[in-house]
């Protein structure tokens, strides 16, 4: 990753929903969720949002290369409330991905514990002894011998979980610069998109769901 040049896409993020407590937006691929190390990585989603929403507060993250739905708090109460839902796995997240090759069967679960691969950070790896529990459910949308379109439902929320789990099935996410190899890696972007997110609204607890169509 030493030769990586951060070149985020321009423009204001698309706002899906905003009220007195909650901000839901669509993160583009190639934009950091929060600032990275160094002045050249200061441009990020939350910094851009702060221009229009000065009180915006981080709740969760999406990888640099992943696009899709993200929720932010606009008050400390909302941030605490939403963060607790993520910690207690009460949010419902659905991702769309394009995988290399044909994934079978049509539904299943990957249950492999993950740990940071320290010599190769930011990569993660499976470690059956020391890894933290991680589960991902999948449902195939359509497939042929070349690729599979799949919906991924993470049960846990480990770093790079979906990317590592799919690579471990032998069907890496297309365009993944860390876990795909050969022709599977040769795509213009990581083919992973956070399609929908459901959570209880911090003011009253009513369940709300928001979606963002996959751009691929």
| 127 in catalytic set | no
32-87 per-position pLDDT tens digit: 999 999 999 999 999 999 999 999 999 999 999 999 999 999 999 999 999 999 99
- Which pLDDT tens digit goes with each residue over 72-106? 999 999 999 999 999 999 999 999 999 999 999 99
Using CA atoms, how far apart are residues 150 and 95, in angstroms rounded to an integer?
Answer: 8
Q: What is the mean pLDDT of residues 168-193?
A: 97
Cβ neighbours of 155 (radius 10 Å): 15
What confidence score (pLDDT) does residue 1 get? 46
Q: Tokens 């896409």, residue?
A: 9
Q: Which of 19, 40, 63, 203 is labelled catalytic?
A: 63
Please give the model's pTM, rounded to 2 decimal places: 0.96
Q: Report the C-alpha gap between 27 and 45 in whole angstroms.
A: 7
Segment 160-181 shows an average pLDDT of 98
Residue 4's pLDDT is 80
- Does residue 2 surpass a pLDDT of 70? no
Cis amide leading into 216 (omega within 30)? no
Decide if pLDDT at 124 tops 60. yes
Average pLDDT on 164-192 reads 97
**pLDDT of residue 3 exceeding 70:** no
Contact 179, 192 (CB under 8 A): no
> Which among 106, 162, 96 is positioned nearest to 134, based on CA atoms?
162
What does the alpha-carbon distance between residue 214 and residue 216 come to, in Å, rounded to a whole number? 5
What average pLDDT does this structure show over 26-30?
97
């Amino acid at each position: 990753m030493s030769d990586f040049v951060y070149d985020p896409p321009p423009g204001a993020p698309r706002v899906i929903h905003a009220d007195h407590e909650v901000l839901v937006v669509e993160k583009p691929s190639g934009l950091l969720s929060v600032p990275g190390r160094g002045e050249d990585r200061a441009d990020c989603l939350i910094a851009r949002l702060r221009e229009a929403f000065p009180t915006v507060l981080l709740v969760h993250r999406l990888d640099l290369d992943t696009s899709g739905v993200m929720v932010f708090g606009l008050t400390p109460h909302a941030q605490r409330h939403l963060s607790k839902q993520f910690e207690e796995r009460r949010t419902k997240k659905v991702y769309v991905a394009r995988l290399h090759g044909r994934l079978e069967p049509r539904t299943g679960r990957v249950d492999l514990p993950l740990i940071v691969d320290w010599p190769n950070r930011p990569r993660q790896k499976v470690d059956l002894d020391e890894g933290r529990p991680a589960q991902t459910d999948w449902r195939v949308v359509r497939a042929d011998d070349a690729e599979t379109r799949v919906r991924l439902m993470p049960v846990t929320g480990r770093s790079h979980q979906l990317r590592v789990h799919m690579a471990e099935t032998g069907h890496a996410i297309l365009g993944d610069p860390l876990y795909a190899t050969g022709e599977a890696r040769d795509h213009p972007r990581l083919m992973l998109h956070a399609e929908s997110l459901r959570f209880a609204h911090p003011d009253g607890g009513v369940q709300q769901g928001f979606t963002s169509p996959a751009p691929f």
